[in-house]
Structure 1
Amino acid sequence: MSRLPDTEKTSRYDQIEEMSTLDVVTNINQEDQTVAKAVEVVLPNVAALIDQIAERMKRGGRLFYIGSGTSGRLGIVDASECPPTFGVPHDLVIGIIAGGDGAIRKAVEFAEDDEKQAWKDILPFEPDENDSVVGIAASGTTPYVIGGVEEAKKRGLLTGGVACSSGSPLGEAVDFPVEVVVGPEFITGSTRMKSGTAQKMILNMITTGVMIRLGRIKGNKMVDMQLTNKKLEQRGVRMLMHELSIEEDTATELLEKHGSVRAAIEAYANLM
């Protein structure tokens, strides 16, 4: 039998069903507090992966996330938040889940066991050597993910992996592994808990770091965000008021005229 992934090790807790509800949430919270420290250990790996992805994106590349189950859903969430947050095209960061889009809501049996399907799912996007593929798998053993990154690597794409087990097959298969070991889950094997939290933190760092390297942040502001609701429009007005030292009416007029915070700032600068 192969080595047990760190994510499958037995919980430090037992007779959980006999705990009070307060004890349950207290113990979950205590475990959650260890996640950020575990992520801190792998920050150099995350930074190296970000820089490599950003360099390829500057040449026209894209980022693909591939995963199954919780890991796949986390990739899709992170990818879907990039266009409204950073004003980038919807096909710049692409989340792909084993079993197709239906698996976002309902698990598809055995979809994660097909080692050839991930690359088949990427092929319609016509991938090339400027693209990057990041596999996400808490155990680091998912065939769908490992097969996908292996094929991507053969084709000259940059590959990264986000796992929550040390010395994982996924880590060995990619150019830039990120293995954050959070230890046994509160409920044995329930990787939607600490492992999922760690993965979400790392994916946040990857896309945020890449977008910063691509110039999508000015100062500390999301100057390219899409103004898709009143809250974001009001945020945009506040950004302009702060950045340009102007009154609210002027900021509102600029935003309405130019459609984005960045465009409004540039237009205002040209008038000065």
Structure 2
Amino acid sequence: MLGPSIGPMLVKEKKTTSSLVKKVKVQNAIYEIDLAEYRADDLPTIVKIAKQVKLATNSGEGVKMLTRGTEVKLLNRDGLELIIETTDGVAKGRVAVETTDLYGVLAQAKFDKDAGKVAGGPTTAPPKPPVNPPAPVNPPPVAEPTPTVATPPAPATGGPMVASGDGGTDGSDNSAPTPEPADKKLSPEELVALMKKFIAAGTLKEFKPEQVVTWKAGEDESIDGVNYQIGLVTYKAQTIFGEKPVNAKALIKGGEVNRWVFAKSGMEMR
């Protein structure tokens, strides 16, 4: 319970023992939704009723029947119950999570994100065809190349050059320096040190260094067509069910942390 009643309660409230975790299929994809990983501001503001339910009116003078498909305001979540209110503000109360389509809404959002259709995302304008410059009417004549005359090499001013075993000469710099790879690869020790430095800086608000139980390097992954080095962290988080271990994942590219996500859902941390 959330302390004192915030309004009339659900008439004949149905108890549920289902877990906070549920697998939802969207087209050909299956998503595992864990409500423990969603904060209040991550939840949708509107959900639909999936099973017919009755709510007592705020005036206390009757009940209001909510049929399947009815849109309601989602005010908060308390464990396996949702606190909802009708869109007209007439009735308010608690219902089981399964009474609404909340799991489906969250799964659809993940599907849309994977498909690159996140609502409110920037739209990319179609590329404009290249404009070909007009060819000159009378192109200038091409001059014949002037034969070059070989110039004898200047005498060396230093000591004699001694042939080296690799075909070059000692004291000379015949080869260009090898450039460092564009995608810098970290060792497991460097990867762990990078994660600790990032969390200690306080950029991520989800957890603090003292909450972390384990730090380790994971296997490389390809996400949305981009290859990342993976860092794995397990930390202790306080939930409505008490202290719970949560797994987080750092996506590292070019020796820098690109972003942090929940290991199970792939949802980005803040």
- TM-score range, shorter-chain basis? under 0.3
- Normalising by structure 2, report the TM-score: 0.18
- Normalising by structure 1, report the TM-score: 0.18
Q: Computing the radius of gyration over CA atoms, which structure comes out larger, 1 or 2?
A: 2
Greater per-residue strand proportion: 2
